[in-house]
Amino acid sequence: MLGNCWFLWIFGKNVEDRLGPFQFLVFYLLSGLAAAGLQVIVDPGSSVPMLGASGAISGVLGAYLLLFPTAWIITLVPWVIPIMPVPAFVFLVLWFVIQAFNGFGSLMDGHAGGGVAWWAHAGGFTAGMVLLLMAKDAGLVRRR
């Protein structure tokens, strides 16, 4: 839960600034619905309940990737230097790859992935990108 709050605080405020508060709320809710939808499609017989906002926050990450690909993020990199700046593009693409990798792994071993809805993360991220592109086409994204 703390990780979700942290990601929403770091990435969400910038995306909200570009969309506006109401559009951000709609975007956030639609990302969450799409995330839950993909998780249900991929694992319809799961007995693990889906709880939390990580799918919707993943949508925010997808939008951030398209809006701020050249931004720098200071992050924890445990195997290199404990804390270092990395380009948002690198951080977010790597994050998505980890989610998809874990999602495929949960399909292969037949388990729910330790209670993590990996496909909701991947679905939310993808939905966030698609929704942001649709918002741009509709002229709903503010310029800097």
| Residue 143 placed within a domain | no
* pLDDT tier, 34 (very low <50, low <70, confident <90, very high otherwise): very high
| Residue 62 placed within a domain | no
* pLDDT tier, 136 (very low <50, low <70, confident <90, very high otherwise): very high
Cα Rg of the chain (Å, integer): 15
How far is Cα 34 from Cα 42, in angstroms, rounded to an integer? 12
| Residue 20 placed within a domain | yes
Q: Which domain holds residue 24?
A: 2-43+67-137
| Residue 55 placed within a domain | no
pLDDT tens for each residue of 117-128: 888 999 999 999
pLDDT of residue 143: 85
| Residue 73 placed within a domain | yes
Computed over every residue of the chain, the mean pLDDT equals 89
| Residue 51 placed within a domain | no
Over residues 73-79, mean pLDDT: 78
Is residue 123 packed enough to be buried (19+ CB in 10 Å), middle (13-18) or exposed (0-12)? Answer: buried
Over residues 44-48, mean pLDDT: 73
pLDDT of residue 48: 66
pTM score of the predicted model: 0.89
pLDDT of residue 116: 81
Domain count for the chain, please give it: 1
Q: Are 31 and 56 in contact (CB under 8 A)?
A: yes
| Residue 52 placed within a domain | no
